[in-house]
Amino acid sequence: MSQIKETVLENITTSETTTATDLPPTPRKNEPVEDLRPDSTSELESTPQQLEKSTIWPLLWDFLQTLLLALLLYGGIELISARIRVEGSSMHPTFEDGEVVIVSKLAYKFGEPQRGDVVIFHYPNNPKEEYIKRIIGLPGDRVEIRDGQIRVNGHVLEEPYISEEPNYTYSLTVPAGTLFVLGDNRNNSNDSHNWGPLPMKLVIGKAVFVYWPLSKFGVVEHYTFDLESGS
């Protein structure tokens, strides 16, 4: 009997030992446990850089789009308009020295000059300079200045905008392709009565708006002469 019991115990011990080797070892107390999860440290470290890139590029693209749009708008505005600063008193009292005027470059692309229009042009004797004057005569008009009055085709012009009546005498028939222009400050203006008719090709555009100083802010008033009634 004694031998039989030992054999059974021996068999049981051997079986338990075999079964135990099939299981993972049980960690002892205070022994660190191996983390079998995927190592995500490298992913966490790269995330801020990826986030920074994903933030910078959209902002840069938005900035470039805004810049391009601004340049296109500026170029478009420059094509259809100009800004000039009035210097001197030749257009007093309509315009004063230092006023800033917006000029429409398209006014005479889609329309014709009219008597009474205020125009900006390159000075014929020095095209680098820009002048501002009022149209008095169109091609074919007969202009006469005498006795303090201006006559166009025999009709006296009523001009409420001038500073004083002209104290000189002048007459001509306006040639084709030109305009006869005068400053509103008749006796203190370098204009067509000094250097002759203005070639249309030198006209920049029509004055349309004053935006500086703010006290003069507003639309430029143009006068249309009714030659039948003289106004």
Radius of gyration of the chain (CA): 45
- Eight-class DSSP state of 87: -
89 assigned to active site: no
Residues 138-152 have pLDDT tens digits of 999 999 999 999 999
**Beta strands, E only, the chain:** 81-85, 100-104, 118-123, 126-137, 142-146, 149-152, 155-156, 170-173, 178-182, 198-199, 203-212, 218-219
Domains, the chain, ordered by start: 85-219 (2.10.109.10)
Residues 113-141 have pLDDT tens digits of 999 999 999 999 999 999 999 999 999 99
Give backbone dihedrals phi and psi of 71, rounded to 5 degrees, phi first.
-65, -40
Catalytic choice (2, 54, 89, 133): 133
- Residue 5: the pLDDT is 43
The DSSP bridge partners found for residue 152 are 143, 155
Residues 33-48 have pLDDT tens digits of 555 555 545 444 556 6
Instruction: Please determine, for residue 192, whether its predicted confidence score (pLDDT) is greater than 50.
Output: yes
Catalytic choice (90, 104, 189, 192): 90
Q: In which residue are the tokens 């000189």 written?
A: 168
- Residue 230: the pLDDT is 45
Place 229 in a pLDDT band, splitting at 50, 70 and 90.
very low
- Give the mean pLDDT of 73-81: 62
Average pLDDT, the chain: 81
Place 78 in a pLDDT band, splitting at 50, 70 and 90.
low
Cα–Cα distance, 210 to 219 (Å, whole number): 6
- Residue 45: the pLDDT is 52
Decide: 178 and 200 in contact? Cβ < 8 Å.
Answer: yes
